[in-house]
Amino acid sequence: MVFYSEGVVMSKQVRKSISALLVFALVLQVFAVTSVHAEGELEVQDKKITTKVGLNEIQLSWVEAASDSPEDLMYSIYMSDQANIDTVSNAEKNGTKIRDLQNGSSSFKVDNLTSGAKYYFNIVASDINSKIAYSMEEVSTLSSSAQAPSVTADDEANVIIGAKNTMEYSVNEGADWQDYDTTEPPIFNGNAAVWVRVKASNSESASQHKVLTFTENTETNSLDSLNLAKSKGDISGVLAALQNPNLGILLPQGFNLWSDDEKQSVAEFVTLINGSTGYVSKGQVQYALDIAIEPRSLFDSNDLLTVEQNITAYFGNLAYLPQVFGANTDESIQALYELGEKYTNLSSVEKQIFAYRIMFYAKRDGLPPHKIREQLDAILSTYSSINRVIDSGDMHNVLIDLRLIQKESTDYNNDPDTIEKMTTFSLDLDKIDPIEYETEQELAQWMIDHRPETGYADYQAIQETFDAFFNPVKDPLKELNTAKSEQNLKTVLLLIKQPEWLDLPEGFESLQSEEQEIVAQIVMTFIPSDYDYQSKGEVQYALRVGYEGLMAALQTDSLLFQQHLISFYSLVSQANQYISYPDTGGVQIVSQKYSKLSSVDKQLISYIAQRFSQDDDFAMKDAYVGYLMLLLQYPPINEPTTPEEMLGALQMIYGYQNSSEELTPYEKFPLDFSKLDTITENETKREQLAKWMIAKKPVGGYTSYEEIQKAFNAFFAPPSDPTTPGSSTGSGSGGGGSSTPVPTTKQEQIVVDVNGVNGTNLTKTPITRTTEANGVVKDLVKMTDMIAKQSVEKAKQLGTDTARIVIPDAKDAVSETRVEVPKTAVKELSDGSLKLEISTANAVISVPAKSIAGFDQELYFRIVPLKKESERKEIEDRAKKEQIIQQAAPNANVRVLARPVEIETNMQGREVTLTLPLGNSLPTETAARQQALSNLAVYIEHSDDTKELVRGKLVKLADSSEAIEFTVTKFSTFTLVSVDGLNAAQTANHPYIQGFGADFRPDAFVTRAQMAAMLARNLSGEAATASSTAASFADVAATHWAAKEIEEAQAAGIMNGLSSSVFGPEGSITRAQMATIAYRWLQKQEANAGATETASATPATSTTASAAFTDVPADLWAADAIAYVQSAGLMTGYQDGTFKPEGKLTRAEAVKVLNVLFKRTPLTGEAEPSFNDVPATHWAYADIEAAAQK
């Protein structure tokens, strides 16, 4: 028999069930006793750090250290902006650790630094015995003026992109330099090498120069030749044009060695795609060519996963065709696009089946490379997917088809003449063969009826459902007991998932198969193998226990972890209520121990359990036993009544501290008992400490980390020589020392109401208010699914549509508020069609029901008010220089009102209404107050580095104070500002968009003629009459409705033709073209303002903060323009990191960009919609109305 701290006898079976992680506790006990490392040698002969400096990077190099344990040697690189990392302790305390490097490293490059900035670096070498710091190195990055400017050549338009008035250029290799003038940019016709650099100034010498090369424009003629052959259906002529070097098309390596059939196949595709419509750019030709060629390399690898990835890439390109070819596309492109969309919408297992099928038939039939593309398209066009069919007849065809693949691939592999065999097909459906047609139909309906809501996830799910039809479980309980005794994990899991037997925990089916097996393992071992489950309820109970144990281990959030851990211990403590076998007592009593713990003990054991769950060596499958073992070994700090018990508890907790702080990433333990090391050999002091901790324990026990730490520290550094509790001697100073008690975190719980729209109470929710050691106060609000459910039910009873959480902060002490709504709670709100409102003193966040609908993840909001005057001043300084404000009201004075607030959330791309209170920030004098209100706006600095200025709507709060209400779809820092002259600038606008009768057609693509018209309507009078310099285009007749506007836009240098003679008025504007137009417009505005100091002092042309889009290579013709508009906040990329430069722009998207160019802020307040198809709920309504207003 084995006894533990509460004297309960543990049975042999229970001991067996928890012995697997006994080493877990034993290791911790070793740590508790072994707290002083042996000394060793770690030496560095030369501690100097050498550096190589660049514009935004610094290369660090150092001499390697000599260690007695080289396998443990590590270099930690620290950085600071102050000279405060000269020693090991200072580096670890004050520095920012950049990287840990293993032994053998002697250099490291630090990048993404600010140019012209000073930094301090140090390196700490450490092994198992000691640590040594190198000599701190001070170094500054190069000034940006020393580098060549970021300019590129537009070889088609023969101009420099990115050049500014601060630059100069040379066409004779630097012999002579000419100032660059943005109002009359030079044209470099023909072959030319142009040098560009930043001019010298009073404080800086001229920068390095960049060489740009301009070549003869030969593409147009070559493209005309290709289009002529295409229009005639001349495949040989198209092939010749493709091979013409002047076209500049990248042909595959060895193309000349291809057979005539292979070449003809490629040329035929390039000829026939998009009918007789010609190509407008070599980019379109290259795209079509790549699609024709790409399937050739489909089977370069025999790995099915690689083949699937290749197929996915091919069909992904098909789905992108309409964006490449614009609006003028025929049915051939539409058909290919639909194929691409069809493949994209397939589930994972359907793509795997499709890849196997294509690969098998290509191998078996010896398909030549140039026929693979046709085979791909043909098979997908008739492909029925197992997760999509809803009719039993269609499912029957799917199953027969899968069986045919299995049979034919097996025959192929068994053929002795087969050289390159296929991987065995992952489904075994041969049971279909002998059954009658009626049974086949029943099977098909079975596969539909038992298909998960999200579809079959993998081959295994299909196979299990298929097998279940032929082997129906007559007595699942009996079969589970048999599988349990045989330790057959897969069968146990299959039975757990048996339809209509157990109620699976919500979220179980979303687990990975390996995670489901962990839960099944717990069900299989929850009771010993020589006992059987007696009822379905017992199995259901074991399933819940296993699921909660796993869910705790999966959590990264500490509060969610603790919730699942509590649920786990609570469930296990009820074992005797659910399980009938006689030896549940031991496990039950272990878990009941948790219910008896004090709150601080529960908090600490939860922290320890989570830290070890995050360790790389922690196995999820051991979570169940591990958590029980941890609870068994844990020494409650509030239970000891004797010095021996208290000392044992302190030592064990110190062992946990050492073990926890050894884990990566490092995290400081909530308690610091390291001073136990100073009295390791002093039994008297150890006993005195134990008595001290018992005596200092408050009535009811310690309630917080802070109380425990304060008592512990006071023993070693008392305010005066204390008399040790329980001792008649006056000794007990604890060895002296002058350290003061370490402040620790304090938490309190506040319960607030969740109200409806009229203030009626729906339910209550707790707020965890944490006061950190530095005095910072943070609130955490968790709306659990239970609270959400109660809110929905009560709201339905009361007829309200809002759940409002009001978070109090009467003392204005809270520095951060975080609101978390778990996925299940979000679903409750969504199902109940409730709007969620979060009200704080600094912002009110209102999430409409339509934004909550379909949001399939945990929702969070983080609200941080910027209370410091210095923070407000920094934002005000940035706002005064911000291009988007200067464009709206040039040279205007900008004042920050009220308190800026940072708001973060994972709800991006969905409408959320914010209300920011003005408080007492408005002037008291009537005229000044009205002036501020008239020019009020919200300045937004988004987290993606874009900026926005919106007017918002003035509203009254419940206390009759004023606030600004506005709607956003992305988040970061929001600031109320008063911009002098803003209102006057807005009222001077004229409409620049027109509709189609009563409609606007917001989703229609913008044509080039429409864009020219919108630009021309906003040109100054002087620019608009400069049409004498404009080129004439062969495809723009004098009678064309936009002929005059096209002339004006081209003459102003804002919009060029596709060539010198072709404008393409009906072609669509691409995102890259829009970026270039915006770039040229802003360059022109900057040039026009060049006479003023403001324009030259703060040009908005920096692209250093722009995103590096994955589909915008540095040599793309519009790369600099895209970087420019992104950094200026005019256009942004997509969540997948792309910009989609060839994607077409809709009319609504165009207006959004043009409003910024034309200095128009979105319309606010109540207004009658100008267009039938743009209601007030449309995402671009405010912008479209602003563009249409008279």
pLDDT in tens, 131-184: 888 999 998 876 655 677 878 777 666 778 878 888 899 988 888 889 988 777
pLDDT in tens, 1125-1138: 887 777 888 777 88
Q: What is the pLDDT of residue 407?
A: 94
Q: What is the pLDDT of residue 205?
A: 73
CB contact burial 820-835 (16+ within 10 A = b; e otherwise): bbbbebbbbbbebebb
State both tokens at 421: 């065999």
Q: What is the C-alpha separation between 311 and 707, in angstroms, rounded?
A: 63
- Average predicted confidence (pLDDT) for the chain: 79
Q: How confident is the model at residue 348 (pLDDT cuts 50, 70, 90)?
A: confident
Pairwise pLDDT comparison (1097 vs 341), residue with the higher score? 341
State both tokens at 1034: 């062969």
pLDDT in tens, 928-957: 887 888 888 899 988 767 788 887 788 888
Domain extents in the chain: 42-144, 165-214, 231-383, 746-986, 989-1188
User: Quick one: DSSP state of residue 1182?
Assistant: H
State both tokens at 229: 């052959």
pLDDT at 656 over 50: yes
Q: How confident is the model at residue 100 (pLDDT cuts 50, 70, 90)?
A: confident
Of 347-361, 599-613, 837-851, the least confident: 599-613
Instruction: Encode 393-456 in three state secondary structure.
Output: HHHHHHHHHHHHHHHHHHHHHHCCCCCCCCCCCCCCCHHHCCCCHHHHHHHHHHHHHCCCCCCC
Q: What is the pLDDT of residue 15?
A: 35
589 dihedral zone (left: phi>0; alpha: psi -120 to 50; beta): alpha
Bridge-based pairing of strands 66-67 and 9-10 is unpaired
Using a 10 angstrom Cβ sphere, with 0-12 exposed, 13-18 middle and 19 or more buried, the burial of residue 1165 is exposed
Over residues 747-771, mean pLDDT: 72
Using a 10 angstrom Cβ sphere, with 0-12 exposed, 13-18 middle and 19 or more buried, the burial of residue 942 is middle
Q: What is the pLDDT of residue 759?
A: 58
Closest by CA to 582, choosing from 524, 520, 530, is 530
Look up the CATH number of domain 42-144.
2.60.40.10
Closest by CA to 817, choosing from 884, 770, 859, 773, is 770
**Residues in the chain, overall count:** 1190
Q: What is the C-alpha separation between 667 and 426, in angstroms, rounded?
A: 45
pLDDT in tens, 833-860: 888 889 898 999 999 988 898 888 889 9
> pTM for the full model?
0.37
pLDDT in tens, 574-604: 777 777 766 555 555 665 677 788 888 888 8
Owner of token pair 């606030």: 963
Percent of the chain residues past pLDDT 70, beyond the cut: 84
